[in-house]
Structure 1
Amino acid sequence: MKIAVIGCGYLGAVHAAAMASLGYETIGVDVDEAKIERLRRGEPPFFEPGLPELLRAGVDAGTLRFTTDVAEAAGSDVVFVAVGTPQRAGSDAADLTYVDAAVESLLPHLAAGTLVAGKSTVPVGTAQRLADLIAPTGATLAWNPEFLREGFAVEDTLAPDRLVYGVADGDDAAVAALDAVYARILERGTDRLVVNYATAELVKVSANAFLATKISFINAMAELSESVGADVTQLADAIGLDARIGRRFLNAGLGFGGGCLPKDIRAFQARADELGHGETLGFLREVDRINLRRRDRMVALIERELERVGGDRVAMLGLAFKPNSDDVRDSPALDVSRRLQEGGRVVRAYDPEARETALRVVPGLEIVTSVADAVCGADVLALGTEWQEFRDLDPAALAGITDARVVVDGRNALDAAAWSAAGFRVIGLGRPEVAAA
């Protein structure tokens, strides 16, 4: 079986490497020549645990190659479309420019028997439009949404919790083709659902909308907890024991960011507006507002503490939107750092992986190469991303290299008792302040 993957960004590069690891002759196609050159050398253009090894294995074995020429995808049995669908400039809607361009570029190279499988997250109704565009070539379309978590993308591709096939009514050939692609995964008993196009398009955005709602719910409880003196972490533990609710995604803090949840809930709301069902998903606007208010709260807490100690220097630990990633798209930690800097504060930041990506977004931000460099001379410490490196810090050792004696924990991830014992005041989001011992 020959497989092509159009788009070699985060989704496409991982998918191509995974397909090659399953033994398929795989080609990745992208218009970015610099990106393709890196991938040809087996070097991922972004940080993702496990991906470098997977890429190098495929490239070295000759089962994986990359090109900028879409014509080289001709003759593939299955062509996956894995390009980005960012938020459209000046709008909440998804920008389908890259999806449309990818499919149009494929048209001259498609033939009867080829299956085009969309993996990009698109507004409902897109698949049917693209299927009609592809039909004259004799090729067919399926929609096969992805459910990758950054930091776990390789695992989620090779050992997913479910596979969803969106196909035209009665298109057994498309189902058979995808079953062949995922044969080794299905052999392990992975759940597989065959649905129509619209359902497949709704699966990813519905899942992201639900997760975003759950996160914003607990952050709303954090706002209330701060007012009444409750501890939102203990609250989450208590309600999370209810099997109907569960504890996952009930961690209050700075909120969500990244390239999926924020833009997906906005695009979902925008599409509902277009379909005349804006009120149906109107709650997502409040979900978004709650999420963004957590950043406001973090900035306000840091500013308050700077005024309290009469200083202006902040050590920001973490810039990526989540640990095990260098992605700073809509990153709460980077946004807080930028706002503080624009407000005249001196920010020194450190992130294990996101230095280069952060500097592309905020070129003037001072980003150092270690925790020690970040905290030296700081008046206030702030945790923006819950990397394990930061969770494992020895606060007693830090106390010896910084005069700061307060830490604003934007992820409620630090051991407050240990930091208190080392002489730090610990301020969490939605938690009572812990005084220095």
Structure 2
Amino acid sequence: MRLTVIGTGYVGTVHAACMADMGHEVLGVDIDAERVSALSRGSPPCYEPGLSEILVRTVDSGRLRFTTSIKEAARFGDTHFVCVGTPQLPASGAADLRFVEEAVAGLAAGLSEGGLVVGKSTVPVGTAARLAEGLCAAVPGADLAWNPEFLREGCAVEDTLRPERLVVGVRSSAAEARLRAVYAPMVSAGVPFISTDLATAELVKMASNSFLASKISFINAMSEICEATGADVLTLAEAIGRDSRIGPHFLAPGLGFGGSCLPKDIRAFTARAEELGRGESVAFLRQIDEINTRQRLRAVACAERLLGGSFTDRNVAVLGAAFKPFSDDIRDSPALAVADAAQRRGAQVRVHDPEAVDNARAAFPALQFALDVTKACEHADVVLHLTEWPQYREIDPAALATVVRAPNILDARNTLDPTTWQAAGWTLRALGRPRLG
């Protein structure tokens, strides 16, 4: 099939490359000419395991190419995936839909009868129905569907090629049949294909992210109670996670969530519920957001205590800049929020990350950066472990102790082995684990 993908950011690039790898002919569209040029050479706009190899393979095969012309895209295929961003509006927390609206309008200007526009962007419930009404008025015979993405950064290629489920919101049996054909290899392999209406498809994405955010903030709230009572949050999380009704996933106590999805999506969901007169139904999401933000403040306070009460003129080493491992995404990164807070309180901060240094340097020029862990930790008065990259668990504490000024470490992600670090002479603190102190 001939597909187009409008928007070649994180979601769009992964979707375009994976659809081409499945055998479709794909045309990716972006207004950024430099990005289009880089993609045409097989260079992705972000770090994602496995993406570069697929991109090079599909570009070289001729099944995937890129353009800046949405008119060309409208003529190229009959199924058009909209993968543009929906950032948060600063004043209200609601989603900014202008990029989605512009993409659909741009397609409509050149779309032929029978064209299907498929939204993958995360939007407030009701958006798809409104866009469908406008599209069908402009192009009789066209249709619109919604197909939310459920990608985990660091696992996006796997999640696209072997998803846990496919959700499509459609208005016609023809649209459902078209999407079944697009995803035929996955459906044949047994991936559940859930066909529903537009509103339910939109809500599946928002509800999923809200539930995941709730689990993360729940265990972090429990970590505060653990600190007040002397309990251990890791044992608590293991015990409640063994209940089959709860499960262990997303019960990892630590610095909280960040990135481009969970924070903005729960705020946008809250804003939309209030517009619908049902704000009380999701009022708890404001508390979820507050708990998550408070984790960053707790980490800053704990680091300050390790320094004797002040960051002024102290050297702080930060391990991690990306909001999660296996990504170079720094959007709403808890790690960088803590690093920036320490710098603003008078510390000299040096940050290391395996993939995100360039992005972090551009966004936080006042911070210092290092390309290896040892350099980042030279003469440090405290080391802050803020992103759970696996290579940080492999650090030799005894060797690192020889380069720091004071062997103090905050494990804000609760993934380091405290026994090993303490045996090497380190003072280790971890959120929700007061017995380590």
Normalising to structure 2: TM-score of the pair? 0.97
Aligned partner of residue 306 in structure 2, secondary structure: helix
Which digits, 9 at most, give the CA deviation of each residue in 1:73-109, with x for residues without a partner? 1141210000000101322000001000101111121
| 1:381/1:404 contact within 8 Å kept | no
State the Cα distance separating 1:403 from its structure 2 match: 2.9
Shift of 1:289: 0.2
**Aligned residue identity for 1:47:** Y
Match in the other structure for 1:156: 159
Report the Cα distance in structure 2 between the residues aligned to 1:333 and 1:265, rounded to whole angstroms: 20
Q: Displacement, 1:308?
A: 5.9
Q: Which residue is equivalent to 1:85?
A: 86
What are the residue-to-residue correspondences of 1:118-267 with 2, within 5 Å? Answer: 118-136=119-137, 137=139, 138-168=141-171, 171-267=172-268
Deviation, 1:394, is 1.3
Tell me: CA distance 1:308–1:92, structure 2 relative to 1, closer, same or farther (3 Å).
Answer: closer
The alpha carbon displacement at 1:433 in A equals 4.5
For the residues of structure 2 that align with 1:434 and 1:396, how far apart are their CA atoms? 18
Match of 1:62 in 2: 62
Q: Structure 2 unaligned runs (5+)? A: none
Match for residue 296 of structure 1? 297
Distance of aligned partners of 1:94 and 1:308 in 2 relative to their CA distance in 1, 3 Å threshold: closer
- Cα deviation for residue 432 of structure 1 reads 2.2
Mapped to 1, the partners of 2:330 and 2:163 lie a distance apart of: 25
Residue 309 (structure 1) shift: 9.3
Counterpart residue type for residue 348 of structure 2: V
Give yes or no for the alignment of 1:372 onto 2:374. yes
SS at match of 1:279: helix
What is the alpha-carbon distance in structure 1 between the residues aligned to residue 435 and residue 408 of structure 2?
10
Once the two structures are overlaid, the 10-residue window that deviates more, 28-37 or 356-365, is 356-365
- Once the two structures are TM-superposed, the CA of residue 399 in structure 1 deviates from its matched residue by 1.6
Q: Where do residues 395-414 of structure 1 align in structure 2 (5 Å cutoff)?
A: 395-414=397-416
Task: Give the alignment's Cα RMSD to 1 decimal.
Answer: 1.1
SS of aligned partner of 2:260? coil
Distance 1:428 1:292, change over 3 A: same
Aligned length: 433
Deviating more after overlay: 26-35 vs 357-366? 357-366
How far off is 1:72 after superposition? 1.4
Q: Where does residue 28 of structure 2 map in the other structure? A: 28
Counterpart selection for 1:361 from 363, 382, 385:
363
- The one-letter code sitting in structure 2 at the alignment partner of 1:220 is A
Q: Which residue of 2 aligns with 1:53?
A: 53
> What is the alpha-carbon distance in structure 2 between the residues aligned to residue 108 and residue 291 of structure 1?
43
**Which residue in the other structure is 1:277 paired with?**
278
Once the two structures are overlaid, the 10-residue window that deviates more, 158-167 or 360-369, is: 360-369
* Counterpart contact for 1:256–1:291, Cα < 8 Å: yes
Mapped to 1, the partners of 2:164 and 2:306 lie a distance apart of 44
TM-score by length of 1: 0.97
Mapped pair 1:305 → 2:306? yes
Work out the CA distance in 2 between the residues paired with 1:309 and 1:118: 49
Identical amino acids, percent of aligned pairs:
55
Return the offset for 1:307.
Answer: 2.1
Which residue is equivalent to 1:336? 338
